Structure 1
């Protein structure tokens, strides 16, 4: 097994391990806290799931760096860093992507783990525990529960289903409305999933033709799903149409057809 395939296997194992921890508390009573605003939620299950995912990776790669969503978890001996290193390996962990869905009892949430190499995603897993689906991407493959993934083959934007993605506070609803308008004016239909990683997985799986996020993203929300889309034959860029990186301005993912129209929607939403 090559190092890249080894990392892909460990990403799957870690996503499953963290997801199982989170699933044990799904739809159960647990304390809910807020971070930046009243809709930016976190639970102790986020932290417990992150600890488990990190511990699983460290069994095989004890010296690698980690970039994780729950910054409060710094007591397990792992090398948690604030930014993705430009050289060498690193792991990106989002223990519950879609915590609002999780707290509200909505089944669409994910545990995501990505292996980075020199600042680029090299392997990834997005596990949807309450739906028992595992999306995985290696150095040359993308699968859902072991079956190959492929992006949609639709070419007509008026037949596309596209997801607007982003975080919008109560004082920023005009921006959210602008994004939704930019999408519905150009494409056949719109979905808002509530989990960035699950949305990217649906693009990789052909259930959506694309997604549009016009502003900066967090790497834990994106890296794993970006790798899935690329390995499934899709395209992922920033809002200017340039190849997406973890520090890019916005994110636009598509099946590769009419990608310029999705970029146009992102730019229109920003303006």
Structure 2
């Protein structure tokens, strides 16, 4: 599988640069950090794709590119969780998606310091490899928000980009709330460890692989308005049974 080989290329670079004393860091215009590892990963993956899939387009967080509504486009996030990477935390991953005519058909998430890799392809199910081996994964069977385990993000991001009231209402409706953040909470939904993940602000490269991963695991993925898309600027992944109830909470609270 090409996506797996691309992830291997990325893991070789990221693990070598993790906690490197000479790591180069700069701030992008939106004040988010980017390291030399981010750009090195994206350049290396693009090089492989140029050699093996020269007709495919590529869009990445660091080097740009767009236009995934038609044809085949690889969407790359070389390091999702760069702030964790910078601080020496293990929760970061390389995200790779293949989008065909606007729909993600392959998703790959590789988190080498967690020892975990998740992947899915359309019609082939969702999979996880960790220290216990390789297995097919599926979402949970929780059917009530009052029993649901929710992961979401910083309150200030909801207040700025969506609705503080919607954030509080969804939290209040659920049994338990944590903030696993970034790629991880969507992956945890896919493997059934939690039931909902909600984000008020995302970029396409943050969640393109999550759309196919969560849906192939039996769940649902949309933006916070309920549109099935990875480029809507927000994200809600669920086990499927809770999706409409969560959307209704968000809508009724002004989200």
Report the TM-score, using the length of structure 1 for normalisation: 0.83
- 2:208: which partner in 1? 223
* Residues 212 and 266, structure 1, Cα contact 8 Å, conserved in 2: no
Establish whether residue 148 from structure 1 lines up as the match of residue 136 from structure 2.
yes
Alpha-carbon distance in structure 2 between the residues aligned to 1:18 and 1:102? 14
Aligned length: 249
Structure 1 residue 178, shift from structure 2 partner: 4.2
Alpha-carbon distance in structure 2 between the residues aligned to 1:252 and 1:114? 18
Q: Quick one: which of 41, 46, 61 aligns to 1:49?
A: 41
Alpha-carbon distance in structure 1 between the residues aligned to 2:250 and 2:153? 10
**CA 1:43–1:267 in structure 2 vs 1: closer, same or farther (change >3 Å)?**
farther
Structure 1 residue 129, shift from structure 2 partner: 1.2
Structure 2 residue matching 1:15: 3-state secondary structure? helix
Q: Quick one: which of 241, 247, 251 aligns to 1:267?
A: 251
Q: Quick one: which of 177, 182, 190 aligns to 1:190?
A: 177
Structure 2 residue matching 1:267: 3-state secondary structure? helix
* Residues 164 and 183, structure 1, Cα contact 8 Å, conserved in 2: no
RMSD between aligned residues: 2.4
Gaps of 5+ in 1: 1-8, 72-79
Structure 1 residue 248, shift from structure 2 partner: 2.4
Gaps of 5+ in 2: none
- What's the CA shift string for 1:37-84, capped at 9, x where partnerless? 44x11111100111122223333202210110002xxxxxxxx62332
Structure 2 residue matching 1:130: 3-state secondary structure? coil
Alpha-carbon distance in structure 1 between the residues aligned to 2:107 and 2:74? 9
- What's the CA shift string for 1:16-52, capped at 9, x where partnerless? 21122111111222122111344x1111110011112
* 1:42-191 to 2 correspondences below 5 Å: 42-71=34-63, 81-84=65-68, 86-139=69-122, 140-145=124-129, 146-165=134-153, 178=165, 180-191=167-178
* Residues 168 and 176, structure 1, Cα contact 8 Å, conserved in 2: no
**CA 1:15–1:179 in structure 2 vs 1: closer, same or farther (change >3 Å)?**
farther
- 1:4: which partner in 2? none
Structure 1 residue matching 2:96: 3-state secondary structure? strand
Deviates more, 1:14-23 or 1:222-231: 14-23
**CA 1:174–1:18 in structure 2 vs 1: closer, same or farther (change >3 Å)?**
closer
